[in-house]
Amino acid sequence: MTTKMAINAKDIFRNQHRLIRFIEKSIRLCSNQSLKAAQQQHQQKSSADFQITASVDTQYASGAPEPIKHDKDLGHQFRASQLSVRLAAPEQLHAKPDNDEELGFGRLFTDHMLKIYYHKSLGGWQKPEITPLENLVMHPAAKVLHYAVELFEGMKAYRGVDGKIRIFRPDMNMNRMNLAAQRSGLPTFEGPEFVKCLSRLLSIDSEWVPHTDTASLYIRPTLIGIDPTLGVASSDSALLYTILSPVGSYFKTGSSGAVSLLADPSYVRAWPGGVGNRKMGSNYAPTINVQKEAAARGLQQVLWLYGENHQLTEVGTMNIFMFYVNDQGEQELVTPPLSGLILPGITRDSILRMTRQWGKFKVSEATITMPQVCELLNQGRLLELFGAGTACVVSPVNRINYLGQDLYIPTMEQEKPVHELIRDTLTDIQYGKVDHPWSVVID
Amino acid sequence: MSVLLRRNSSQLRLLLSSGGQVTRLASTEGSGQPPAPAVAKQEAKKAQSKRQPPPVVPDSEIKKSVFISQSSDVFTNLALEDWLYKNFDFSHHHVLLLWANDPCVVIGRHQNPFTEANVSRLVERGITLARRNSGGGAVYHDLGNLNCTFFSPRERYDRKYNLNIVTRALFREWAIKAEINERDDIVVMNKKISGTAAKLGQPNSYHHCTILASANKLHLGESLVREKANYISRATASVPSPIRNLVDVNRTVNVAQLRSAVGYEYLRTAATTLEDGGSAQTMKQRGFQLINPTEKWFPGIEELRANYSSWDWVIGKTPSFTVEKDLEVKGHGEDMKLKLSVEVEGGLMKEIGLQLPQSEQLVPVVTPLQGKPYNEENLNGILGALKLVNASNVKQAINGTA
């Protein structure tokens, strides 16, 4: 670096962490304790590698959710043993694409689907059935079409290194789905039975998961209210169905896998007393136009802010994590707490449990605000910012456009990024490279 | 800490059945350490000498799939067959692979393509020549011919079962009465409609057969004719039999329907006994799947395909043979009958010689084609060059050496 180098404000922002490191190396710093502490921490980190343990520490429990309480007049439940199967004939099969470029996300679907009807007048949940993928037929007054009486889930099936198919913590998705059903006036169901039906569907369409060790199948269970009446009331009829989609990579990112965000406080995704913490379709429709706006401004995702203090809540459709040096000079991983505005992500829960078990740095659930982010960035204490979700496990953030300013986050500049370690550990579990109770084999 | 290696489940089964330890990643604290890899290998070696039979899996636990290949390239399909044979775990999952190829001639593993067909002519007409991995004779494939490969673990290999699935399907769909003869061919009214070959290994095996639905019989006949010459070869020879298309027996037969019929028959029959379970049985299976045999879905398949399509495999693996062809040389009023003899090793012409009349000696012929690949065009090229030789020159040569 020469003094004659053209200094650009943008360059400084982008390279501030590099600048700091360079200055530290060449000039002795007599103050600014937190920087020194960070350097020490950094050195410590590089000597002792994280230990990846396969066992689940009882202190942090396996995170098994509480069983759901069904309505008194729900009727009877469905059982996987009642499953009837109608296999697709050869003419009904869909051709498999040649490569990932044609795949995108959720554009192509497999040959079969799972359908389970609920009719209160017929006693409750009906017999589950697996049929070839076909259109749904419903009355134009169906509640889902008018009042968005709909909820869904997102999970993945992975082909492990031994060729067997695995799903990741399905019990968590089932619980989350039932909680959303209760809020929507839709019938609840037995999660374990549904997972068994899902396993059968996956074994039929298992060839839709490539035989590589980096491929997955996206599972989309959906519950809709189909009661053909216009009253805004609980649906007496519902349909629980699941479709599967082979996936390539979710995001088409620009620079080396990191994403850029639009943080505009005028758009609010969720509010106290609302359903921000439930995976309902009605939460997502209003975000589409905002996403379009972000894309128009050359940004890839939306960073959802809330409140006067511009709290960071979620990134696009993912939870957000921040890894920084706190006021005590120690490294800390923080994510917003489940206050009702945040979707309780399963990846989020897994990361919290896993990193707490590691015990290498402090892990906390606390509110993060934009002013806080800016301050940390200025002091060079912000290390990494990343989203966490099923689609891509972790998604590092390298730029936020906030109030007309571009903030450059050094997520990708870290030597041993925590987000990569998290991604590697989680994918090792998901692909069966490590034997772990979170990864359920279904075959 | 030993890590679970990237092993597919069929290799794991093999290891387990031979008593070896499958090393798994255990938690660091508390639970017992897995045995060191060195110890595990020793144990595996010891146990392999007294291999225990794999556990018997009851029929009810075996699920069946019918895979339909999206490709019509013979090399890709052969590579797919090979990939499944090498990598798939069939212990609880039997598979029937259905495939059809663009026009090609497929010879058996140990056959000599030059005794089965006119290779130069095939190249001219754009018909691919391929060598499969299983034994048996040469066949002509086109899109009117359906190939069926029945995969199962070695211990449940059953050729008769597989062939019966086909005959039952033909009857159920079109009321065609087919029989299985002693050579394991399927015949309809005394003419062959199917040929069979198999590969038995550990832990997997496969049996494949063809079904002639509506193949082009004219092209078939023309393709399986070899160049007229005397071949001295120890390679497996094909046994020619009169063949018939199913469409000659019943005009409504077509490959698409045949695929469906054989597939459903396979799914509705119990796993190891010829018991029909109807739609109740079909419902319990895994059903039909389209298969796209590309590197994205089956990593490693490109390498297999490259091998199948290589000259080294198709021609190079030909067992050594000698081809002799007579040639007449004209001279002043007298003709001489000579015999051209070419020794071919590994598909290359090693020794090119001329046998003179009244002599057992072989006179070597000097030609730039020495050491080059053998094919009918080259052979006729040498003959053509030799025909220009004058009979008197040959006489001189004989007298000179006599």
Residue B138 located in a structural domain: yes
For position B259, what pLDDT does the model report?
Answer: 96
Give CA–CA dist A272/A286, Å, rounded: 17
At residue B34 the predicted structure's pLDDT band, cuts being 50, 70 and 90, is very low
Closest-CA residue to A130 (of A190, A192, A86)? A86
Preceding peptide of A132 cis, ω within 30°? no
Beta strands in B226-334 (DSSP E): 230-233, 287-291, 321-330
Same domain? B65 vs B131: yes
- CB neighbours of A324 closer than 8 A, spacing ≥ 6? A331, A332, A334, A376, A381, A382, A383, A384
For position B37, what pLDDT does the model report?
Answer: 44
Average pLDDT over residues B78-100: 95
Helix (H) or strand (E) holding B398: helix B391-401
Residue B278 located in a structural domain: yes
Radius of gyration of chain B, Cα coordinates, nearest whole angstrom: 27
Is B226's pLDDT higher than 50?
yes
Same domain? B127 vs B263: yes
| CB-CB neighbors (< 8 A) of B260 in chain A | 89-91
Average pLDDT, chain B: 84
Residue B204 located in a structural domain: yes
Same domain? B305 vs B178: yes
Same domain? B349 vs B210: no
At residue B212 the predicted structure's pLDDT band, cuts being 50, 70 and 90, is very high
* Three-point CA angle A414, A418, A422, nearest 5°: 145
ipTM over 0.90: no
For position A57, what pLDDT does the model report?
Answer: 47
Residue among A95, A96, A162 whose CB faces B7 most closely? A162
Average pLDDT over residues B308-314: 95
What does the pLDDT profile of chain A (443 residues) look like in tens digits?
555 454 566 666 666 767 666 665 555 444 444 455 555 555 544 433 444 444 444 444 456 677 788 888 899 999 999 999 999 999 999 999 887 666 677 888 999 999 999 999 999 999 999 999 999 999 999 999 999 999 999 999 998 888 889 999 999 999 999 999 999 999 999 999 999 999 999 999 999 988 887 778 999 999 999 999 999 998 999 999 999 998 865 444 433 578 999 999 999 999 999 999 999 999 999 999 999 999 999 999 999 999 999 999 999 889 999 999 999 999 999 999 999 999 999 999 999 999 999 999 999 999 999 999 999 999 999 999 999 999 888 999 999 999 999 999 999 888 889 999 999 999 899 888 888 999 999 86
Range of the domain at B344: 321-401
- Which domains are delineated in chain A? 66-93+103-247 (3.30.470.10), 254-441 (3.20.10.10)
The answer to whether A203 contacts B31, with C-beta atoms less than 8 Å apart, is no
Give CA–CA dist B256/B146, Å, rounded: 9
| CB-CB neighbors (< 8 A) of B287 in chain A | 85, 87-88, 111-112, 204
The answer to whether A97 contacts B292, with C-beta atoms less than 8 Å apart, is yes
Q: What is the pTM of this model?
A: 0.81
Residue B45 located in a structural domain: no
Domain count, chain B: 2
pLDDT digits (tens, 9 = 90+) for B283-307: 999 999 999 999 989 999 999 999 9
The answer to whether B25 contacts A434, with C-beta atoms less than 8 Å apart, is yes
Distance from CA of A37 to the nearest CA of B (A): 31
| CB-CB neighbors (< 8 A) of A164 in chain B | 9
* Three-point CA angle B2, B8, B10, nearest 5°: 115
- CB neighbours of A246 closer than 8 A, spacing ≥ 6? A96, A103, A108, A110, A208, A209, A210, A215, A217, A218
The answer to whether A204 contacts B283, with C-beta atoms less than 8 Å apart, is no
Residue B284 located in a structural domain: yes
Residue B228 located in a structural domain: yes
* Greater model confidence, B10 or B93: B93
Residue B12 located in a structural domain: no
Most B CBs within 10 Å: which of A103, A109, A162, A206, as the mutation test of the B interface?
A162
Same domain? B186 vs B261: yes
Question: If you count residue pairs, one on A and one on B, with CB atoms under 8 Å apart, how many are there?
Answer: 110
| CB-CB neighbors (< 8 A) of A206 in chain B | 286
Report the residue of chain A nearest B25, measured CA to CA: A434
| CB-CB neighbors (< 8 A) of B87 in chain A | 163, 211
**Which ranges in B8-104 belong to alpha helices (H)?**
9-17, 37-49, 74-87
Residue among B3, B88, B263 whose CB faces A90 most closely? B263
Residue B372 located in a structural domain: yes
At residue B9 the predicted structure's pLDDT band, cuts being 50, 70 and 90, is low
For position B22, what pLDDT does the model report?
Answer: 40
Residue B296 in contact with partner chain A when CB distance is under 8 A: yes
pLDDT digits (tens, 9 = 90+) for B361-379: 778 887 888 888 888 888 8
For position A27, what pLDDT does the model report?
Answer: 54
| CB-CB neighbors (< 8 A) of A95 in chain B | 70, 290, 292
For position B183, what pLDDT does the model report?
Answer: 86
Distance from CA of B346 to the nearest CA of A (A): 35
Report the residue of chain A nearest B64, measured CA to CA: A204
Same domain? B92 vs B199: yes
Residue B33 in contact with partner chain A when CB distance is under 8 A: no
Give CA–CA dist A428/A414, Å, rounded: 22
CATH number of the domain at B121, please.
3.30.930.10
At residue B3 the predicted structure's pLDDT band, cuts being 50, 70 and 90, is very low
Is B47's pLDDT higher than 90?
no
pLDDT digits (tens, 9 = 90+) for B134-152: 988 999 999 999 999 999 9
* Greater model confidence, B49 or A141: A141
Residue B202 in contact with partner chain A when CB distance is under 8 A: no
Closest-CA residue to A189 (of A77, A274, A87)? A77
Burial of residue B240 (CB within 10 Å: 0-12, 13-18, 19+) is exposed
Interface of B with A in 237-276 (CB under 8 A): 256, 259-260, 263, 267
Interface of B with A in 88-127 (CB under 8 A): 88-89, 92
For position A21, what pLDDT does the model report?
Answer: 65
Same domain? B197 vs B263: yes
Residue among B6, B256, B296 whose CB faces A98 most closely? B296
Same domain? B380 vs B265: no
Same domain? B364 vs B382: yes
Give CA–CA dist B40/B32, Å, rounded: 15
For position B12, what pLDDT does the model report?
Answer: 56
| CB-CB neighbors (< 8 A) of B5 in chain A | 161
For position B30, what pLDDT does the model report?
Answer: 35
Query: Of B287, B314, B341, which one is at a domain's C-terminal end?
Result: B314
Query: Of B267, B294, B314, which one is at a domain's C-terminal end?
Result: B314
For B220-239, b where at least 16 C-beta lie within 10 A, e where not — what string? bebbbebbebebebebbebe
For position A173, what pLDDT does the model report?
Answer: 95
- Which residues of chain A have a Cβ shorter than 8 Å from any chain B Cβ? 51, 53-55, 84-91, 93-100, 111-112, 161-164, 203-208, 210-213, 432-435, 443
* Greater model confidence, A429 or B391: A429
Residue among B9, B66, B290 whose CB faces A96 most closely? B290
Distance from CA of A3 to the nearest CA of B (A): 51
Q: How far is CA A380 from the centre of its chain?
A: 28
Same domain? B256 vs B361: no
* Distance linking the first and last C-alpha atoms of chain B: 79
Give CA–CA dist B262/B268, Å, rounded: 10
The answer to whether A55 contacts B24, with C-beta atoms less than 8 Å apart, is no
Same domain? B69 vs B146: yes
Closest-CA residue to A112 (of A247, A245, A248)? A245
3-state secondary structure of A280: strand
Same domain? B165 vs B298: yes
Distance from CA of A118 to the nearest CA of B (A): 23
Query: Of B314, B335, B355, which one is at a domain's C-terminal end?
Result: B314
Q: Is the Cβ–Cβ distance between B118 and B227 less than 8 Å? A: yes
For position A363, what pLDDT does the model report?
Answer: 95
